[in-house]
Amino acid sequence: MAKIKLHDIFHSSGQALVTVLLEERKVQFLPSIFYALREEGIPISFIVQSMGQRGDFTLSLATAQQHSDWVRAALQEGLDLPPSMTLRVQDHLTLITLYGPHLGEIPGIASRILSALVTDGVEVLAMSASLNSSLLVISQKFLPKSLRSLNRIFEIPAK
């Protein structure tokens, strides 16, 4: 199978992924939490959200690891979550960004990415693919293996 040409691939290690389960009524507090993150200069490198059948939401966001305690506290307090409420932080992660081609131009991009990674035993903790890029959150320990897997299916321009 011919390799798919990418515009670029880059990765950023030292990331943390914060995942929180939200009741719908708590979503109203999210803007002020993100404004607080802006005030603190905390970057958001990844965010996805999906809705469960009962109308609750799962929100996952990645930030630099040194900010994860701050983000956890902001979500815990901003959303008024009881200590027992599930808010998970995973660290020592890497965010891999595959830039181009547009997802709508070539069928099967996401399938090829996941198939290559699963073949090599890489665990993906989160993924978002839309428009012109695919973002993968993996454990840092899988980075070399992931890059080898992705090199098998993508033609990556030399730097």
12: Cβ contacts below 8 Å, ≥ 6 apart: 45, 94, 95, 97
From 30-38, 75-83, 142-150, 151-159, span contacting another protein (CB under 8 A): 30-38
Q: Which of 14, 23, 77, 115 binds another protein (CB under 8 A)?
A: 115
Residues 44-63 interacting with another protein (rule: CB under 8 A): 44-53, 58-60
Q: Does 42 bind another protein (CB under 8 A)?
A: yes
Which amino acid is it at 156?
A: I
**Alpha-carbon distances, residue 40 vs 70, 98, 120, 149 (angstroms):** 9, 28, 39, 37
E-strand stretches of the chain: 4-5, 8-22, 46-51, 57-64, 87-99, 124-130, 133-139, 154-155
Q: Does 111 bind another protein (CB under 8 A)?
A: yes
**Minimum separation from the CB atom of position 152 to another protein (A):** 14
Q: Residues 87, 72: contact at Cβ < 8 Å?
A: yes
**Minimum separation from the CB atom of position 142 to another protein (A):** 11
What is d(CA 122, CA 104) in angstroms, rounded to the nearest whole number?
25
From 75-83, 99-107, 139-147, 149-157, span contacting another protein (CB under 8 A): 99-107
The footprint of another protein (CB under 8 A) covers 19, 21, 24, 27-28, 30-35, 37-38, 42-53, 58-60, 86, 88, 97, 99, 103-104, 107-108, 110-112, 114-115, 117-118, 122-135
